[in-house]
Structure 1
């Protein structure tokens, strides 16, 4: 039981999560009150049919938005759960603001509440998102809905929010300025508490942001950051410049064709051969120096460790175009990258394979010793895999 069944970060997370849930509950009550007024509750001239139609249009818009959002996001929420949490809650606050302002412009009322329902999609349309963050706090696995460590406190906070709302609404309903002032105060509290709750989480699996922070520290100082330090340094509001280096494999990458003078386009076997040469790893890398992007193609034999190495490899290539100290062998490659032509990308990739043969085992062991979980990851990788013939190793005579 508690506290042995949860990790040390659970208590600060749950405290701030309870504060944000309470503030959001009160804000939601103010927004619901405004929507009901706009529909015509309490107005003898209002039409029940018109109110019903408006409500159905609002709900239909939200359902359509949830379908599109689920298709668009896929597994991206797993990769950047903290950032999605903040993004969704801020959008939810914007949606409630639209609902409060909707009765002021009755001509645009239906359109306004439809837009607000769309803004709530990241929260209401992805029910796993607000609930699966606390699972990282679990030390012991629990089956069933009661295994969620936030379920009890969340229910209690929601109940408290409803009771306080019953007392608050009669006091502010007759004064729009007071109601709006309460909403802005609760919204500020909601965003701040959300930030503190997300910042308190210590996720022990690597996504691209955390991997880049840990790898950069390792390359510069030879030490591996622990989960607590890396999670504190992880950017929540801004996008790291190294994000986007690891591009999921696509069929279009292996189907590259070039126009050969005097003949039809043929598959670029020569380019594929250059990507395979010099290593036996079950992944391929193509480095575009001009855009500082790395395209990764995974073999069917690629497991979590291979994916972690491929991501590390891509970020190392990105570090060659950045600043900051690097190990000696990588510093030499950086000088060649800055001085040499872009056509040497394949050569640089081949040589970084050799560097990683020595560097990555130390890095992987450092990750495991520091407390990171390397058997799984939160890197954004699709399910597509490729098959190719490995280049035979060249034997030196």
Structure 2
């Protein structure tokens, strides 16, 4: 046994596990106090499991919401595996497996049409919504799983309508490929959020290992269930309903467990309203549970961030008024009749400028559409602007926009400081800005 009175040469620690120290022995060898050297994290089945299925350095190498999210994600994957097996059985039955009157050619054509329709859906959805998936990853993740359940339900029902079987499975394939795009893209966005040591590949790989293990468990359970549900439609529908309810609930809990520190429009809206009402900015842990996951009934303006100039103004006089009403790296205009706000960003606009521009648009939205709890020192000013903005004739809102800009210039430094101190990330954002950038001060430029 080593002499504990000897000064240790060094200590070492694997992540957050217990430390060990090395002492010099009389014979010149190293003597270890604590964990035995050479065995590392392989001392127990628990550590083996963690090494295989959790990212290296867990829990320090991932975000604090990693474990609750993965637990509920595992539950939903298991439920989806069971319902997927029920759907597979129904589709195989529908294409003629076990039916002597069906032909291989007919089944092949149906399958090709199903896959081809899905490929078209994948391309169209990625084209139409690909740029929006990062901004609202939680909503799109929940949407993808709900759509997946609808597609599975269609496949289970398809054999009951043989005349429309091909149309139903093609529509289901279309939906499933949309699910693949939305689910894969949002999973990548959530993985980027969870990886805290530039270890996105490791987090993604271990997530794949977890899902594979769950799918294996689902396959084993499916092997037991399939013989029981064959030719028993009521039992099939009952199991589908049970596991679909579990699937949707687990998905809701999973996305609710995610606590993102990057601002999107919904989180910025909540933070801004809280700041205007209470005078301080809440933390991500306070805002994320309030973030809407489904389209709400509350009225919102259509905000285009990074808009081209023609969306802001249509005349030279309007352009000059837009320039006069601003004092930063963006221009803003309001169309009350259409219910839209257009924001043009300067070529040199930073992420903070984009946050301020979006905050200005959200302030206009709040003044026009919502009743703000105006408990701050600027409450009377906001109430005055709200009255002016709602009562101003169409086409005469520029003076009010100027006043809102001046007010925001006073409030935004405090709001930005509150965001930073509360733990929000401001050097990047998920506000969904378009790529148009404007330079409205071409003093040294000449038209050729």
What is the TM-score when the length of structure 1 is the normalising length? 0.91
Higher strand share: 2
CA distance in 1, matches of 2:372, 2:408: 19
SS in 2 for 1:84: helix
**Matching of residues 1-397 of structure 1 within 5 Å:** 1-126=57-182, 127-142=184-199, 144=201, 147-239=204-296, 241=298, 243-251=300-308, 253=310, 257=314, 268-321=315-368, 322-326=370-374, 327=378, 328-389=380-441
Shift of 1:239: 3.1
Query: Is the CA contact (8 Å cut-off) linking 1:245 and 1:315 kept in structure 2?
Result: no
Deviates further, 154-163 or 361-370: 154-163
Shift of 1:60: 0.3
SS in 1 for 2:430: coil
Change (3 A) 1:332 1:148: farther
CA distance in 2, matches of 1:339, 1:255: 21
Change (3 A) 1:300 1:241: farther
SS in 1 for 2:281: coil
CA distance in 2, matches of 1:222, 1:118: 48
Q: CA-to-partner distance for each residue in 1:4-36, whole Å, 9 max, x for gaps?
A: 112221111111110000000000000001000
Query: Is the CA contact (8 Å cut-off) linking 1:218 and 1:224 kept in structure 2?
Result: yes
- Which 5+ residue runs of structure 1 have no aligned equivalent? 258-267, 392-397
Change (3 A) 1:302 1:145: same
Change (3 A) 1:132 1:370: same
CA distance in 1, matches of 2:415, 2:302: 19
Change (3 A) 1:242 1:135: farther
Shift of 1:290: 3.2
Instruction: Provide runs of 4+ in structure 1 moved above 6 Å.
Output: none
Query: Is the CA contact (8 Å cut-off) linking 2:301 and 2:365 kept in structure 1?
Result: no
Q: CA-to-partner distance for each residue in 1:256-280, whole Å, 9 max, x for gaps?
A: 54xxxxxxxxxx1111000000433
Shift of 1:131: 4.1
- What is the aligned length? 381
Query: Is the CA contact (8 Å cut-off) linking 1:227 and 1:371 kept in structure 2?
Result: yes
SS in 1 for 2:333: strand
Q: Which has the higher contact order (CA 8 A, sep 6+)?
A: 1
- Other-structure match for 1:263: none
Change (3 A) 1:83 1:197: same
Deviates further, 350-359 or 305-314: 350-359
